Amino acid sequence: MISGAGKDREADGSIVSDYDYELPTELIAQYPAEQRDASRLLTLGSDGSVGHGRFPDVIGLFAEGDLLVANESRVFPARLLGRKPTGAAAEVFLISQTGDDSYVWEALVRPGAKLKPGRNVTIADDLTVEILATTPSGNRVVRLVTAMSAEEALERHGHIPLPPYIERSDDEVDRDRYQTVYAGTPGSVAAPTAGLHFTEDLLRQIQASGVAFASVTLHVGIGTFRPIEVDHPADHPMHAESYTLSEQTADAVNQTRDRGGRVWAVGTTSVRTLESCADAAGRVTPGSGETRLFIRPPYDFRVVDGLITNFHLPRSTLLMLVAAHRGYETTMRAYREAVLNGYRFYSYGDAMVLPPGR
């Protein structure tokens, strides 16, 4: 059981330990639901009310003229499992390309003490990883040595990078289900999991009801799993993630707001992208860059009205984002109710929706 720390003072969301909660380990989903949209849905109203249903019920919360914005980043098979020259097992976890060369990457390596610059890891007969350098943070710069394209090599030999709380090896189901149906641009090492519940048919029904659909790109980095190790959220060094907001999506957001429609974000990554590109008046500007935006209470949302999300880890920046949207006490009370009602948690778990206030 994941347990929360006791505190003498009354919790108010001002320190990191306020975001602890107790979670039986059996509620951490190890596999996806049998069907994408078969997951449960907890509705957390702006008045603090809690409703229970199934994910397709989300359709009834939209109104004609609303806009649904999702992150179309695609998870790539970032884990390479191989052997050192001694025959001992080794792992290379690709994080991001370091430049224009598709064969050169920044990576995490295991065992780190043994895989120094100049060493090689054999992944397969047609793929070797050469360790080139050590970064200031302790990561490695590596080169993929193969006659194939880098993309082909990863598709053939890479493994889907499941989160550490999924305590099993990846298998064929993850190639499909740890990916949204609208995934496009490769670059994430973790799925934007709120989108995993949508099917193509459900998206068609939503759009047929007069709700527009647009996408952003934010490549989810390994930092999304790193715990907050300080007492006060303001002291946490937020990890950077790269994003792109297209001119088409920016126009859709601004036009929706101009005519009084509501902007819904699918997942915290969509929220961070939209809010990073917004001015004080709530208008977004297209562009690409890196964001370190840390949304936590108190926060005045400029763009996002409604949020569809999953249940997040204790003490995480993602849980704090949800609390910023709906309120600390309301959010933590809803999490306790989700636990009591046996909801499935985390990446392959159930969903929560935060409708806009009326």
Check which CATH number belongs to the domain holding 244 and give it.
3.40.1780.10
Residues 182 and 216: beta-carbon distance below 8 Å: no
pLDDT band at 5; cut points 50, 70, 90: very low
59 lies in the same domain as 129: no
Q: Is 240 left (phi over 0), alpha (psi -120 to 50) or beta?
A: beta
216-245 per-residue burial string, b: 16 or more CB within 10 A, e: under 16: bbbbbbbbbbeebeeeebeebebbebbbbb
Q: Is residue 171 a part of any domain in this protein?
A: no
State residue 223's pLDDT score.
Answer: 84
Q: Hey, CA dihedral for 257, 249, 247, 65, is it positive or negative?
A: negative
What is the count of structural domains for the chain? 2
pLDDT of residue 4: 52
Domain annotation covers residue 163: no
- Pair (193, 279) in one structural domain: yes
Q: Is pLDDT at 358 greater than 60 in this prediction? A: no
Reading the block at residue 94, the tokens are 């690709």
Last residue of a domain, one of 125, 157, 189: 157
Which residue range(s) make up the domain with 150? 79-157
- Residues 58 and 83 placed together within one structural domain of the fold: no
For residues 222 and 256, membership in a common domain is answered with yes
Q: Is residue 56 part of a domain?
A: yes
Whether 124 shows a pLDDT value over 80: the answer reads yes
| Average pLDDT, integer, range 133-152 | 96
Over range 240-245, report the average pLDDT.
96
Percentage of the chain with pLDDT > 90? Answer: 92
Residue 53, strand partner residues? 41
Same domain as 284, residue 203: yes
Q: Token pair of 241, please?
A: 């993630």
- CA 259, CA 130: separation in Å to the nearest integer? 55
Q: Work out the average pLDDT over 69-92.
A: 97
Helix extents (H) in 70-220? 150-157, 172-177, 200-208
Same domain, 144 and 255: no
Question: Which 8-state DSSP code applies to residue 240?
Answer: P
Same domain, 65 and 188: yes
